[in-house]
Structure 1
Amino acid sequence: MNGNEYIKFMTQEFTSFIDSTSEERKTRRSKRRTEPSVYSSKWLGVLPFALKSVMRKDSS
């Protein structure tokens, strides 16, 4: 993704966020809080994901 595409994407995301109502934002926020997060990603970051993808790539 080059710089122009990234700026276009971020602009679209920002405008969709601004155009949404405050109730929609509150429900989205509460839904995100109630969903359980993946333990390995929450506590260890991207490293477990990277190792899993490398292991899958090597076994294929």
Structure 2
Amino acid sequence: MAKSDELVKYITQQVVTYIDTPKDVRQQAKAINKEKREHWQTRWFGMLPMAARMLFDQIKPKK
């Protein structure tokens, strides 16, 4: 029973913190976090897309 009480307390604290922060501050924080995130290809596939791109660039005939 103690773990569920701690969980409810934690969730309540997070909700109160969210409600107390102004909307502008939340939007700025969201924008900053979005800029810091890696590109979706890197997040999903790691370095494979970049390695494939480098390989194809080497194979492609140069004009």
AA partner of residue 23 (structure 1) = D
* Cα shift readout 1:10-59 (whole Å, capped 9, x = no counterpart): 1000000001001110111101100124x4xx428xxxxxxxxxxxxxxx
TM-score normalised over the length of structure 2: 0.55
Distance in 1 of aligned mates of 2:44 and 2:7 = 28
Structure 2 residue identity aligned to 1:11: T
2:17 is equivalent to residue 16 of structure 1? yes
Q: Does 1:30 pair with 2:31? A: yes
Count of paired positions: 42
Q: Which runs of 5+ in 2 are unaligned?
A: 46-63
**Greater Cα radius of gyration, structure 1 or 2:** 2
Superposition TM-score, scaled by structure 1 size = 0.58
> Segments of 4+ in structure 1 off by > 2 A?
none
